[in-house]
Amino acid sequence: MTLEQAQDWLMENTLLFTTSQRFSPEQVDDFFAAYNALTGEDKQKTACGRCLLNMKARFRQEHHKLMYDMKSYPVYRTPKGTYTFKEYGKPVLKIKAINQSSADTQLFALRASDKKTEE
């Protein structure tokens, strides 16, 4: 799941992490995919209640950022194929973050996940 897909999923499924609801098996898969895309972490699927509660809290924070404080930072691909904020033609995606530092962190995670998929 890409960062933009994860952000869209987050906005569409707000009730899953703002209320006390039981997840369906498909929702659990989507939840972990979206969480990993948003945070840059590689959490494995688990049934640990405390773990899920902490992840839901992180989702609430991300949701708050999306709703109120986000700025959009266009991301480009260089001729060598790496992601950058420097302008190269049309942007391939946008990173939404509170500030440049947060956007840099997300770009670093994007680059790391891109390297993993190449291997």
For 92, the token pair is 């391939």
> Which residues are registered as beta bridge partners of 71?
97
Residue 91 vs residue 64, higher pLDDT: 91
User: Is the model's pTM score more than 0.75?
Assistant: no
User: 36-82, pLDDT tens digit by residue?
Assistant: 888 878 888 888 888 888 888 887 887 777 777 678 899 999 998 89
* The predicted structure's pLDDT at residue 90: 92
Q: What is the pLDDT of residue 50?
A: 86
User: Rounded CA gap, 5 and 10, in Å?
Assistant: 8
| Torsion on CA atoms 112, 97, 10, 51, rounded to nearest 10 | 60
Asked if 101 and 92 count as a contact pair (C-beta separation under 8 A), the reply is: no
pLDDT digit string, tens, across residues 8-39: 888 788 788 777 878 888 888 888 898 888 88
